[in-house]
Structure 1
Amino acid sequence: MEMLVVLGHLQDLLLVRLKNHKPLFENLKRSVDMFQPNMMEGHLHPLDMTQNTSESDIARIGARDDDFDSATKSGSENHEGASGDDQDPRPKKKRYHRHTQHQIQEMEAFFKECPHPDDKQRKELSRELGLEPLQVKFWFQNKRTQMKTQHERHENTQLRTENDKLRADNMRYREALSNASCPNCGGPTAIGEMSFDEHHLRLENSRLREEIDRISAIAAKYVGKPVVNYPLLSPPVPSRPLELGVGNFGGHQAGMGGEMYGAGDLLRSINAPSDADKPMIIELAVAAMEELIRMAQMGDPLWMTSLDGTTSVLNEDEYIRTFPRGIGPKPTGFKCEASRETAVVIMNHINLVEILMDVGQWSTVFSGIVSRAMTLEVLSTGVAGNYNGALQVMTAEFQVPSPLVPTRESYYVRYCKQHADGTWAVVDVSLDNLRPSPAVRCRRRPSGCLIQEMPNGYSKVTWVEHVEVDDRGVHDLYKQVVNCGNAFGAKRWVATLDRQCERLASAMATNIPTGDVGVITNQEGRKSMLKLAERMVISFCAGVSASTTHTWTTLSGTGAEDVRVMTRKSVDDPGRPPGIVLSAATSFWLPVPPKRVFDFLRDENSRSEWDILSNGGAVQEMAHIANGRDTGNCVSLLRVNSANSSQSNMLILQESCTDSTASFVIYAPVDIVAMNVVLNGGDPDYVALLPSGFAILPDGTSSHGGGGGIGETGSGGSLLTVAFQILVDSVPTAKLSLGSVATVNQLIACTVERIKASLSCDNA
């Protein structure tokens, strides 16, 4: 302690007498500061905050200014026994103040709300805490310094990691390219022969070299390492638009999140790409992006107008001339399906990009098209805090809501990029050529969309779908609708996106619109009911298609060849009743326009004509949520007043939705008590649902030779899929009886006959 006192007197004496001898002053002060922290029981000098200072260290810091001049000016406030005796030249010993735990907690809490308090706020704090205003000021200064130091240390670590990754990637790409061989002669090959011609490659390499130099310079600024100029290829996420583009690839992102499914055997069998594959994947993605942009923007002769003037048709010969390289020639027996569609949707471009790049959101929005998907590996998350440059390897299964159309599996990479004009693009390209398999039945050439920002939160979306597929498994009933693009084409993707954007806008409404009626009285209840209906729709779509990857088991020998019956055991799932569930689905043709079928099935007044379970009881709409421009897009809560007392006051949750390519009427019985919880804003995830319903597609024919659509009431017929999910035994370990299967078959057959009788006869 004697040494401590001496050091205190020495420093204060130097402040007074050596202020004008700055060099000597600085040297002496540094010597004292180096020694002082170890001698003063852990008290750090305010200027030593760049060291590893903890929050408890800040609490102990004495109330001194970090500026030497202000330290001497305010010295009287830091002296013990300070008095008005100005004649005493000998400075007093400094006092180091320890803040109490209460003072620290109060200042910590205030710091979270306001890191930079003004004079008035500091005075109020000092009065409340029994501190001097300068003590409060110094505490906040030190706290801000500590937070800044921690933030910079975290940023340095991230930049150092990224810089090391860039170097490793670059060296790996260089080695892969240097070991390349000519596929014709087996000898060494020029880089340009791999994918680009020599001129294009040189331009691309020049741009990529500039890009990695720029990133290295940024990293060196923080990490403190010299900038290294890396030759050849760039990191996997270029940040500027390509000047040139060559290639021939494609695909769509998919991702089924959440409530329904474990990974199926087929999709799970595909592993993440190896390190050796990644350079080729990056090259495919970059070329696919350029091809997508050109495919979206080019006109004749690449795209020709159909005979009815409503759609664009790809000129395959011109396509091969324009994009001579890519994932290889079309496999034998495969058919090309290519389409392009443009629409303006009510969602801003940033939210659209987020939906496309987030596997859970994307799967939910397109649940009627995507039956299963997962992200195998994220090669890049993007730069600058957004999805610009994001690169994901994915696998997905695409569906039509019918057991008569096989699903399409695809293994692909998804690449997102922001271009110079503010346009965002998301492209998919098939990776099946990396692991050739005889089981592949669908290849995606560059497919995806361009998103352009428009005023008032709208976006213009141009969608391109381009696949090569073996469609021999498609039933004759659905061949026309598949061929015209209403099943898997760009028109269906865009129509679904447009309708879902309206639904999302409705769900985010801050007040209850005038179109909503019934028992919904608050915004929380409205949101919960929409969320429950969304889960119901996803569950329905997953139990309808001829998927190979879901947890359903298809039964054979069920006694009805035209009905697909599946079973699943439900255990410990709060969103589904426990026990054995049967799902039965069938599809058939009706000589009735799709809009008429849709209006008939969604109308509560005509429900008794086809709904056997309602036993002819009157149906009353108790709640109605409009979620789209079309009056058919809504969520309803129905009450069935059945003559059977055991079913009296049964509630039914129903969602109906329609666009130009497909319509759905989906419903599920719900428990009254559980529904009351939802209407009061409770969590809808614990409401058990077994959805049933209908999927309606135009049959692909019309009087003027086009594809036909839902809104065209005077043309074509309808393809109707009827599906039921029924709990046949509440004990999951019970054995499935043939009687249960026969009952479900009879239920679906009777429903089909009632619908045909109600619609076909009076339309004849």
Structure 2
Amino acid sequence: MNDPFWVDSSSDRQCFIHREIYGRKFSNQVLPPQTSTGRIESSKDCGIVSMTAVELIHNFLDPVKWMNLFPTIVTKPKTIEVLDSGTWGGSMQLMYEKLHILSPLVEAREFFFIRCCRQLDATTWIMVDISYDIFNGIQCGVPCYSLKFPSGCAIQDMGNGQSKVTWVEHVQVYEKYQVNHIFRDLLCDHEAYGAKRWIVTLQRMCERFNFQKGSTYPTRHDFKGVFHDPEGLKNTIKVSQRMVKSFFEILSMTDNRGDRISIRKNEEIIQPKGFIAIATTSLWLPLSFQDVFSFFNNDKTRNQVCVEPLYNNVNYSEIFFGTFPGNNITIIQPYSMHKEMLVLEETSIDEMGAFLVYAPIDLRAITSIVNGGDATKVPILPSGIIISPDGRLSLNRDNTANAQNGSILTMTFQIMICGNNNPTSRQQKMEVVGSVHGVLSATILRIKEALGCSDL
């Protein structure tokens, strides 16, 4: 419904729920006041996506497909119990999901909720989520998770392989840790978890899936003659998506302390065996996210600041997909690395932000991938950057303000530190952390200097 529940923000043309009117209409729902540990967020957005309503509903009900449809938002989803598998003309199930945000300085969100999908008429479906208070009577004090008031989407099938999706988010968020409120406010107020981000991500991923299925292949010259087997193209896209998903999961760490460094032992087949150091941090820049993305998407400028510079790159292959020209997957042959190693890189940009994720991969593994071999167990250790708009003013080259937004840059890299030799002693671990922290700090200083922001 539109009037009177939704109010348009005059500053950014976003919609939010008028809480008093909503509370009077739905008096059975108590909306507690916002506090320092709990805040209510609401938003609505609409867009056309290149997938049918039935396909969307099938993806929404399968937790793995749900995660793959939103790899930059959703992690660790699962169905706890199927409550109704079609008796009432749809489906209803109890689910869990964890949502990761685009900075390690803001905590992830967890939800236990009931998801209900129903077909309203020949062309219209709805998906509605509402929290199920699974900890009622167990938790003491302030809950340590977030709550969903009725949220979800209405899907109208347009009959041409496309659907019109109207998305609604209405949540109350509790903070478990002492978070960085500046970054939280900049990201969350710019819809980091809002309806627009869900819509934009859904549009991008539907385009990607259609490309992968072959329904929107570009002309052959876009592949630079490398992919002689269609399965090789599909393999590369699948591996790249796994790389991106793995990268975004890194951000969901357990504490919030500024520069974040951890050491973990990896036992997964799909990542290199051994001990891995992870370093990640975020910083605000008085530049638009488009300008920052252009800086990192250019080899000559990025090589000035990168942890792993890729000097004199040769693009072994490049796959273009999606509406925005910055969306592509590239296999790079860097002269600075061993000749038996290549780099798989994916870049993406849309109106909600941008990312650049890359990982070194053995030449034999890449060869197997592009020739249609099994790509499910290729080890990947991704690093990269995320650039998010923040709603602030940016600076022109003459340091005058303009109407574009500033941005938040999150940089994360992973380093294999010692194979299977465990850094057991406290001193060894401190030496590793100190070394990685030095690399991270030096990289941030180079970025500020290269972007003309050294005085920040």
Does the pair score TM above 0.5? yes
In structure 2, distance between residues paired with 1:686 and 1:483: 36
2:252 is the counterpart of 1:545: yes
- Shift of the 460–346 alpha-carbon distance from structure 1 to 2, 3 Å rule, reads same
Corresponding residue SS for 1:737: helix
**Aligned match for 1:747, one of 430, 439, 448:** 439
2:387 is the counterpart of 1:696: yes
2:272 is the counterpart of 1:568: no
Corresponding residue SS for 2:303: helix
Corresponding residue SS for 1:360: helix
Given that 1:302 and 1:314 are in contact with CA atoms closer than 8 Å, whether structure 2 keeps it comes out as yes
Corresponding residue SS for 2:234: helix
2:32 is the counterpart of 1:330: yes
In structure 1, distance between residues paired with 2:11 and 2:218: 39
Corresponding residue SS for 2:270: coil
| Structure 1 stretches lacking a partner, 5+ long | 1-297, 549-553, 704-712
What corresponds to 2:287 in structure 1?
592
Instruction: Compute the TM-score of the two structures, normalised by the length of structure 1.
Output: 0.54
- Compute the RMSD of aligned alpha carbons: 2.5
2:112 is the counterpart of 1:411: yes
In structure 1, distance between residues paired with 2:215 and 2:48: 23
Deviates more, 1:605-614 or 1:659-668: 605-614
In structure 1, distance between residues paired with 2:245 and 2:324: 21
- Measured after TM superposition, the shift of residue 404 of structure 1 is 0.7
The amino acid that maps onto 2:440 is: I
Which one has the bigger helix percentage? 1
What corresponds to 2:411 in structure 1?
722
Corresponding residue SS for 2:113: strand
**Aligned match for 2:201, one of 496, 500, 522:** 496
Given that 2:113 and 2:129 are in contact with CA atoms closer than 8 Å, whether structure 1 keeps it comes out as yes
Percent of residue pairs bearing the same amino acid type: 34
What corresponds to 1:74 in structure 2?
none
Corresponding residue SS for 2:252: coil
For residues 93-135 of structure 1, the C-alpha deviation after alignment (integer angstroms, 9 at most, x for no partner) is xxxxxxxxxxxxxxxxxxxxxxxxxxxxxxxxxxxxxxxxxxx
In structure 2, distance between residues paired with 1:622 and 1:460: 38
In structure 2, distance between residues paired with 1:511 and 1:409: 36
- Measured after TM superposition, the shift of residue 429 of structure 1 is 0.6
The amino acid that maps onto 1:311 is: Q
What corresponds to 2:398 in structure 1?
none
What corresponds to 2:85 in structure 1?
381
Corresponding residue SS for 1:413: strand
- Shift of the 648–420 alpha-carbon distance from structure 1 to 2, 3 Å rule, reads closer
Given that 2:318 and 2:330 are in contact with CA atoms closer than 8 Å, whether structure 1 keeps it comes out as yes
- Measured after TM superposition, the shift of residue 488 of structure 1 is 0.8
In structure 1, distance between residues paired with 2:133 and 2:343: 44
Which one has the bigger strand percentage? 2
2:172 is the counterpart of 1:468: yes
- Shift of the 607–639 alpha-carbon distance from structure 1 to 2, 3 Å rule, reads farther
The amino acid that maps onto 1:757 is: E
- Shift of the 336–612 alpha-carbon distance from structure 1 to 2, 3 Å rule, reads closer
What corresponds to 2:343 in structure 1?
652
- Measured after TM superposition, the shift of residue 648 of structure 1 is 4.1
In structure 2, distance between residues paired with 1:631 and 1:727: 33
The amino acid that maps onto 2:303 is: S
- Measured after TM superposition, the shift of residue 750 of structure 1 is 2.1
What corresponds to 1:50 in structure 2?
none
2:329 is the counterpart of 1:623: no
- Measured after TM superposition, the shift of residue 354 of structure 1 is 1.0
What corresponds to 2:20 in structure 1?
317
Corresponding residue SS for 1:689: coil
Report which structure shows greater RCO (CA 8 Å, sep ≥6).
Answer: 2
Say which one has the larger Rg.
1
**Aligned match for 2:3, one of 289, 297, 300:** 300
Instruction: Compute the TM-score of the two structures, normalised by the length of structure 2.
Output: 0.89
In structure 1, distance between residues paired with 2:43 and 2:212: 31
Corresponding residue SS for 1:364: helix
Corresponding residue SS for 1:618: coil
- Shift of the 763–457 alpha-carbon distance from structure 1 to 2, 3 Å rule, reads farther
- Measured after TM superposition, the shift of residue 682 of structure 1 is 1.1
In structure 2, distance between residues paired with 1:432 and 1:510: 43
The amino acid that maps onto 1:563 is: D
In structure 1, distance between residues paired with 2:384 and 2:182: 20
**Aligned match for 1:360, one of 52, 59, 64:** 64
What corresponds to 1:68 in structure 2?
none
In structure 2, distance between residues paired with 1:683 and 1:383: 40
| Structure 2 stretches lacking a partner, 5+ long | 395-401
In structure 1, distance between residues paired with 2:100 and 2:252: 6
